[in-house]
């Protein structure tokens, strides 16, 4: 079996946290994620032929599939691929569909990005394998295209209808920076994180059971809103095209639930614009307020929070040094992200763990996080 330390090809692919801009990446809006210092580590040795053997070290499982039989989503014995193997197989499938011929390999991987926690453990696996195959094959492909191909794998091979934010952040992260990424124009720029403020992640340990169906329902509500609003605003293509002022004039035409969902998206797009300026002006206090407002909107309008995440955000807000807190990722479980004055970071972490244990009788995992580079090849 390939060991991570000694293999000839080694890749590190980070997870991501989203600071603001939730559920806007499938509405053409802009997002503000950062790659984080929790990552998937992959190692491989090329093999002649077209067979790929993968070892999921954390699960103690292995699978072998044939690059000529990817469409079947089965291993070489005709057994359906285990869910973890669909991400690398999906990446291989998309790359081959785009004319890149891959070679067989034996690879191992391990991850310390918690799974199902809203920190993009799957995007990290996808991007990691894409970069690994790229290192093996030596072909050229820019990171934005690579991220889009990984998203395509998730949409069409794994079957999750996600936007582009996660794969983008895992592929393009910049150490010490958040990424302002416009999911329509695909233009992006790194923005420095506020000096003197720490990013702290709190894992509620609640996992997203409803996630896929609720995610698709939210997407459908947004599409419905655009369709209905086009009667009054014929030039809009997505909710990102509607300003809060315009929305106030036309929103009464929408059914109540669709109106709430759309209100979140319209406001969240405006919050991201303001937040990016705050980062550029070093205004961490206002940025933090926008995070709290984003959480309230996800809780009350988009309805993707759960009591445990609300509790974490409320407790955070009561602790000294906390500038902002919100759920991060799709919701229904997972993590909150907190912006905290650096001097208070240790005290904050202890206070949040204690408060959560008292209020929810659960053990949160809370840790300081550093914005990392996007996936890289180790030499």
> Is 165 among the residues that bind ligand GLA (CB under 6 A)?
yes
Nearest approach in angstroms of CB 219 to ligand GLA is 8
Q: How far apart are CA 272 and CA 320, in angstroms?
A: 25
Binding part of the chain for ligand GLA, among 20-28, 73-81, 91-99, 221-229 by CB under 6 A, reads 20-28
Nearest approach in angstroms of CB 127 to ligand GLA is 13
Q: Are 172 and 147 in contact (CB under 8 A)?
A: yes
Size of the site for ligand GLA (CB under 6 A): 10
Which positions from 309 through 348 interact with ligand GLA, judged by CB under 6 A? 329-330
Q: Are 68 and 57 in contact (CB under 8 A)?
A: no
Nearest approach in angstroms of CB 18 to ligand GLA is 6
Nearer to ligand GLA, 107 or 269 (CB): 269
> Is 22 among the residues that bind ligand GLA (CB under 6 A)?
yes
Site of tokens 């009054």: 232
The bridge status of strand 335-341 relative to strand 197-203 is antiparallel
Binding part of the chain for ligand GLA, among 102-110, 160-168, 186-194, 224-232 by CB under 6 A, reads 160-168
Nearest approach in angstroms of CB 160 to ligand GLA is 7
CA-closest candidate to residue 348, choices 328, 314, 320: 320
Nearer to ligand GLA, 19 or 360 (CB): 19
Could you say which of 34, 95, 162, 225 contacts ligand GLA (CB under 6 A)? 162
> Is 221 among the residues that bind ligand GLA (CB under 6 A)?
no
Nearest approach in angstroms of CB 200 to ligand GLA is 19
Nearest approach in angstroms of CB 20 to ligand GLA is 10
> Is 275 among the residues that bind ligand GLA (CB under 6 A)?
no
Tokens found for residue 258 = 């669709």
Give, in order, the Cα–Cα distances in Å from 277 to each of 178, 189, 268, 366. Answer: 12, 12, 14, 28
Q: Are 339 and 288 in contact (CB under 8 A)?
A: yes
Binding part of the chain for ligand GLA, among 22-30, 186-194, 259-267, 281-289 by CB under 6 A, reads 22-30
Nearer to ligand GLA, 35 or 165 (CB): 165
Nearer to ligand GLA, 22 or 308 (CB): 22
Q: How far apart are CA 7 and CA 10, in angstroms?
A: 7
Verify whether residue 58 is a known catalytic residue: no
CA-closest candidate to residue 129, choices 71, 84, 66: 84
CA-closest candidate to residue 157, choices 254, 260, 70, 262: 70
Nearer to ligand GLA, 165 or 272 (CB): 165
Tokens found for residue 62 = 């292995």
Q: How far apart are CA 284 and CA 178, in angstroms?
A: 13
Strand locations in the chain, DSSP E? 9-18, 30-31, 33-46, 51-56, 61-66, 105-111, 177-182, 188-192, 197-203, 322-328, 335-341, 365-369, 376-378
Q: Are 82 and 61 in contact (CB under 8 A)?
A: yes
> Is 171 among the residues that bind ligand GLA (CB under 6 A)?
no
> Is 15 among the residues that bind ligand GLA (CB under 6 A)?
no
Could you say which of 7, 10, 20, 25 contacts ligand GLA (CB under 6 A)? 25
Point out the catalytic residue in the list 28, 75, 166, 203.
166
Nearest approach in angstroms of CB 22 to ligand GLA is 4
Q: How far apart are CA 17 and CA 119, in angstroms?
A: 6
Please tell me the total number of residues recorded for the chain in this structure.
379
Q: Are 239 and 222 in contact (CB under 8 A)?
A: yes
Nearest approach in angstroms of CB 304 to ligand GLA is 8
> Is 23 among the residues that bind ligand GLA (CB under 6 A)?
yes
Could you say which of 12, 15, 19, 26 contacts ligand GLA (CB under 6 A)? 26
Positions annotated as catalytic residues are: 166
Q: Which residues bind ligand GLA (CB under 6 A)?
A: 22-23, 25-26, 162-163, 165-166, 329-330
């Amino acid at each position: 079996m390939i060991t991570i330390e000694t293999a000839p090809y080694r890749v590190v692919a980070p997870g991501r946290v989203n600071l603001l801009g939730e559920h806007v990446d499938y509405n053409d809006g802009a997002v503000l994620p950062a790659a984080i210092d929790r990552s998937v580590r992959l190692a491989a040795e090329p093999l002649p032929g077209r067979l790929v053997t993968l070892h999921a070290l954390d699960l103690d499982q292995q699978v072998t599939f044939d690059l000529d039989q990817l469409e079947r989503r089965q291993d070489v014995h005709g057994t359906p691929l285990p869910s973890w193997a669909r991400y690398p197989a999906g990446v291989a499938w998309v790359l081959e569909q785009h004319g890149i011929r891959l070679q067989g390999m034996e690879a191992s991987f391990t991850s310390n990005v918690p799974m199902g926690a809203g920190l993009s453990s799957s995007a990290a696996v996808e991007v990691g394998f894409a970069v690994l195959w790229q290192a093996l094959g030596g072909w050229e492909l820019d990171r934005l295209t690579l991220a889009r191909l990984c998203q395509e794998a998730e949409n069409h091979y794994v079957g999750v209808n996600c936007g582009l934010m996660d794969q983008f952040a895992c592929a393009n992260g910049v150490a010490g920076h958040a990424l302002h990424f416009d999911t329509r124009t695909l233009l992006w720029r790194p923005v420095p994180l506020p000096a003197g403020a720490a990013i702290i992640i709190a894992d509620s340990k609640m996992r997203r059971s409803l996630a896929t169906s609720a995610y698709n329902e939210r997407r459908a509500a947004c599409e419905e809103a655009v369709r209905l609003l086009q009667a009054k605003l014929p030039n809009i293509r997505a909710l990102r095209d509607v300003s809060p002022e315009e929305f106030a004039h036309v929103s009464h035409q929408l059914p109540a639930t669709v109106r709430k969902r759309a209100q979140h998206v319209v406001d969240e797009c405006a919050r991201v614009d303001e937040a990016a300026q705050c980062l550029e002006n070093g205004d961490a206090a206002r940025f933090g307020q926008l995070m709290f407002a984003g959480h309230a909107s996800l809780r009350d309008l988009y309805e993707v929070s759960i009591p445990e995440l609300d509790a974490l955000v409320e407790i955070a807000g009561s602790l000294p040094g906390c500038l902002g807190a919100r759920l991060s990722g799709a919701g229904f479980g997972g993590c909150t992200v907190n912006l905290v004055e650096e001097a208070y970071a240790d005290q904050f972490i202890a206070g949040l763990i204690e408060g959560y244990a008292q209020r929810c009788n659960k053990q949160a995992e809370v840790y300081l996080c550093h914005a990392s580079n996007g996936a890289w090849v180790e030499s």
